[in-house]
Structure 1
């Protein structure tokens, strides 16, 4: 057994079991890749890959168990490379951030600006996706940190740090009936509702609130993007439910926000990274800036 053979298994997983692509990433032809797998299975005395004819379809139970160990080896390799760069105070690298649209637009601009002033040589790559996909990006080493509200707590392989708590607001055009008397979930439910797609930006807390009140959450339009929801509220399609941090009095002066903090549980945005990940100096700095901005966000809200 050698590291190249183990790396080949990892690349097979990464390429969805495309042996040709995995071999290409390793710098070898398909026939050589196939031979390395054969040698590895002979050493283990049992197959590590499931096959349908000549097509590889997945891992055997043994292969899945070995892959769990390979993930540890791969992370250790990455950590060693990062430690060496950090030791040299290398300021030329990359910061990969996985987050949602709401956090990218309303939380991250100041931390990223301050980070760029401190580390101008570090390139920043931001991926906006769903919380579930964001977690997958962490585990596949395509993101260094994740910033979102949903799903992170369910993964015990992550270090999770709270950023800030926030609440939802209803947004409506000026002089809408909801702005003229007391708000309740029952009154909300009487209007067409526009809010986040399942899994985004506290949608689970909205669902819990309506369920606890014995009400049906009938959402006529769902979106991952607060700005999309505001656009369709402006078109008169219904009442929007968005994060309070997404309502901008200056830019949204044609809309009015109605506080829902007494009716929908508060949500918490968090930052997460792999427990075994070595944090380089620049990543620690960025997380510090992120938490500073989060404290300011809490103060404003």
Structure 2
């Protein structure tokens, strides 16, 4: 009798344990479902795509702002460079409409070293403004290092020197013809101390158009802007400058200005018209 009761009690306990375990299992399952339903969800494909789109827009905006800032800084650097040239007189314009009087001579003139000059040149013609001389001699050194020997034939000319030349040319060819290749006194770039005529042995040190086709002339045309010089009277430029082609005549304007003039295919008159020099050298609107 006691065994039967004990056996029955064990069965009841097992049943209770089973029920309890099942209840716990269902409870845990419910909690898991509840937690999963209330917890943070992973982003959907649409949400991921939107996040990527916004990130790309942010990246593009940052890149746009970076490029704009680089452009602004480059423009400001260019403005400062051209104002340096302008304020120091390196953009001085001498042509048929712009002149100086017989007394004009720049204060910072220095002599070009003899090794850079053609033989038997008058000492009085070997002067240029100091910065121009430094860059001119560097340019000729660079040419020589590449086998292109170029030398000065004439740099500075006084008002009276130019008057003598002009009078002789007018007597020889007439005023109209002379005006195409020679400047009236007071309008010659050579009086500015910023211009220099050059030549080479390829043309026997003469000033000839053929110089432009020599190895030395081609080297000069290709590299002079690196040293701040421009070919002042280019091919097909007579209507703009008033003078015939002169491949031997280079003019100092500083390297940043020379590079811009050369890259844009301008003459000095056109370049000067691009900017408002009385208002900080900003572009003309």
TM-score of the alignment, normalized to the shorter chain, above 0.5: no
Report the TM-score range of the alignment, normalised by the length of the smaller protein.
Answer: under 0.3
Higher helix fraction (1 or 2):
2
When normalised by structure 1's length, the TM-score is 0.20
Q: Relative contact order (alpha carbons < 8 A, sep ≥ 6): 1 or 2 greater?
A: 1
Higher strand fraction (1 or 2):
1
Q: Which has the larger radius of gyration?
A: 2
